[in-house]
Amino acid sequence: MQPSTVPPPDPFRPRLTLVPEPRPRPVRTLVTLGDSTAAGLGDPMPGGGWRGFSVLLAEALGARLVNPAVTGARMADVRRDQLPVVLAEEPDVGVVFVGMNDTLRSDFDPVRLRADLAATVGALRSAGAYVLVMRYHDHTRVFPLPAPLRRALWRRVVALNLAVDAVVTETGAGIGVLDLDALPGGYEPAAWAVDRLHPSELGHRMVAAGLAALLAGAGFAVPGRVSMQCGGGREVTALHRAAWLVFKGVPWLVRRARDLGPVIVQGLAGELRAGLTGRC
């Protein structure tokens, strides 16, 4: 039997090497910019104050949270007041949750809104942060309104989403989008607080879980998980609902009626024109 011989290695033959997958990047500092939803409204705590999706997300990430979001904030407020605060914290991830208040004002301007969002996102990206933004839902499916006003406000939400889409396209890498309209269970009554304006505890958990999934998909470490089991918040009773209606709901509707008067008139005029011309 002839001894077997091993051919010498071919120096021109490529060698196969196994490249280990990159380790997930930890999130040390999470910042949230935005309005009352970003501030946690709708998820009350037993001792007072609010929790919200930002706290739930930070817990899942094991991150430090910086959240200067305030009730009533609009896109310009975030750029002017909140952005300098969070940039000083050297964020790893920034969540921008704002825009719906803009759609409820008579001076709604999608061009200016887009410019403010682009500036905010651009500054966060320049600081090295991964950015998460929202595409917004049809809130008239949650808060019923007369048909002309419903259609007028939905057109504004569409314009807001188009502004978000444009900024995302221009930004390219380093940005993720949570589509609230496609969030599973997002239109269920249990996902909304007594005011039907803010997410409930469950709704905040849904948003936090959606954001955590986006970050995991982008290569960030998410050592914890966002549970869909509600607990730790303050129970909302029938008395709370009645009190909100008297002390919060009616005054809010009065304020919005004054501000949205031009929107209502525009919506009715548009419906009238469409009816006269036979257009949809």
Question: The CATH number of the domain where 89 resides is what?
Answer: 3.40.50.1110
HEC profile of 41-89: CCCECCCCCECCHHHHHHHHHCCEEECCCCCCCCHHHHHHHHHHHHHCC
User: Which of 20-24, 106-110, 266-270 has the weakest average pLDDT?
Assistant: 266-270
Q: Is residue 133 part of a domain?
A: yes
Q: Is residue 259 part of a domain?
A: no
pLDDT in the model for residue 47? 82
168-203 pLDDT, tens digit per residue, is: 999 999 999 999 999 999 999 899 888 778 899 999
* Domain total in the chain: 1
pLDDT in the model for residue 149? 73
223-277 pLDDT, tens digit per residue, is: 999 999 998 655 555 555 555 544 454 455 555 555 655 655 555 555 455 445 4
User: Which residue type, as a one-letter code, is found at position 56?
Assistant: L
Q: Is residue 260 part of a domain?
A: no
53-89 pLDDT, tens digit per residue, is: 999 999 999 999 999 999 999 999 999 999 999 999 9
Distance of CA 157 to the CA centre of its chain: 14
Residue-range definition of the domain harbouring residue 42? 29-227
pLDDT in the model for residue 194? 81
Q: Is residue 163 part of a domain?
A: yes
Q: Is residue 107 part of a domain?
A: yes
Q: Is residue 257 part of a domain?
A: no
Percent of the chain, pLDDT > 70? Answer: 74
Q: Is residue 47 part of a domain?
A: yes
Q: Is the pTM of this model over 0.85?
A: no
Q: Is residue 49 part of a domain?
A: yes
